[in-house]
Structure formats: structure tokens, C-alpha cells
Amino acid sequence: MLDVRGLAFAYPDGHQALFGVDLHVHRGERVALLGPNGAGKTTLVLHLNGILAAGAGTVSVSGLEVTTNNLAEIRRRVGIIFQDPDDQLFMPTVRDDVAFGPANLGLRGDALDTRVLRALEQVGMDAFIDRPPHHLSYGQRRRVAVATVLAMEPEILIMDEPSSNLDPASRRELADIVRALDVTVLMVTHDLPYALELCERSVILSDGVIAGDGRTREVLADADLLARPRLELPYGFTVV
């Protein structure tokens, strides 16, 4: 599903963010991407739908290489849900926000209405379809942001810190939504318990290279592996 080979990237100021990253994600997997601030996680994610272009190496989605000529199809296949839902919600109503992407692909009429309603039903927000997004709670806006991406029917869903700023009930509701989705998920998170709850596999990115890759329970139980990139489990939380 997702194939990253030898990906390297330096910003114009000379800062080298990635040093030959190899990452392979299979169809249907839910994978947590862990790492400290500055590890290169955001840089890696922005390559996956062509927001950034590789300095070296390749990125492919279902066999289609991420290149300028393929950007429209790549961005349909790879949906990114940003950490702050307000970065994605800018239309007058929930309906308009969820319809925005499919409408820009040319979907119209009943087909568009069906696509919007189905996406909102997947996140339990169909009853709010005519509400202004800014009238919703933070957790509700997060779910609508997920719906805006699901409406594009992506093959890969990338979630950037999905549990941040959520109360316990909203956190649980979002986890239930993610588990019910029939889509490949790459979840960027500092929330190690959430990674354990939702992702069977975890990849650690540190200083622009892959520092660990394995079953989440085994990764989080390895104190030495977590210590090197300064990752810590919450106080009192143990992995058995």
C-alpha cells in the first residue's frame, strides 16, 4: 500500500530532516509513527501526498509513484487529518466542508449528497450536517475533519496527533471510529497508550532515520529502545 525507499530530504536552509528512510505499510494495517519533536515525522508525512518532494529516494502508493504528474490521484488516495481540525474546516456548514473535496473532483447532485452523508455517518456526525463547524465542540470538529477526508474515499488515512486536546469520552469515540474504518491508517502520535490501543505495529523515527519497527506492545515494552529517542510512557502506565 505504502512504499518509501531511501527517502532523504533537506530544507532550503540546509537542515537535513530525513536520512534514507525505508518504510513499508501493507493494506489494512494501522501503524503508529512515534518519535520526539524534530525527529522528521511531519517531513515524512508531507512527502506521502506530495506536499514535499523527495530530495532522494521514492514514495509510492499502491504502486503509483508520488510525482508531480500523479499529484491529483495521490492526494485522492492519501488523506491527511491535521492536528488542529480548524485547519481543515473553513466553510459555512458541516455539509459544505465535507462536500468541498469531492465537489472539486467533479462530483455533483445526488452522488455528492450521498458521499457527504456516508462520510458523516461513519463518524457519527450526520445529525449535525447543517450546523456551522464553529458551533461544534472540539471533539465534534475533530470528527468532522475526519469526515472531510473520508469523503474523498482515500486508501490511506494519515492522522496527525489525533488524540491531542480531546477529553476522555471524545478520545474513546474517535478510537471507536478508527477501529471501524476499512482503510489503511498511519497515525503520528506522542500518545503511546493510544498507539497501543489502536495500532498493532509501531515505527520509531529519530533524527531522520527509522530507529525501531515492530509490534507496538513489544516496542513499548523495550525501555532501552524508548529511551534513545526520549520517548516515555505516562507515569504508572506499564506494558505487560
Residue 17: phi and psi, rounded to 5, are -95, -30
Which domains are present in the chain? 2-83+154-227 (3.40.50.300)
**Position 240 pLDDT exceeds 80:** no
State the distance between the two ends of the chain, measured CA to CA, in whole angstroms: 31
**Position 62 pLDDT exceeds 80:** yes
pLDDT digits (tens, 9 = 90+) for 117-144: 999 999 999 999 999 999 999 999 999 9
pLDDT digits (tens, 9 = 90+) for 172-215: 999 999 999 999 999 999 999 999 999 999 999 999 999 999 99
Which grid cell is 221? Answer: 515494552
User: Which residue, 167, 170, 169, 128, is CA-closest to 147?
Assistant: 128
* Per-residue model confidence (pLDDT) at position 54: 84
* Per-residue model confidence (pLDDT) at position 168: 93
Confidence (pTM): 0.92
Average model confidence (pLDDT) for the chain? 94
Contact between 62 and 39 under an 8 Å Cβ cutoff? The reply is: no
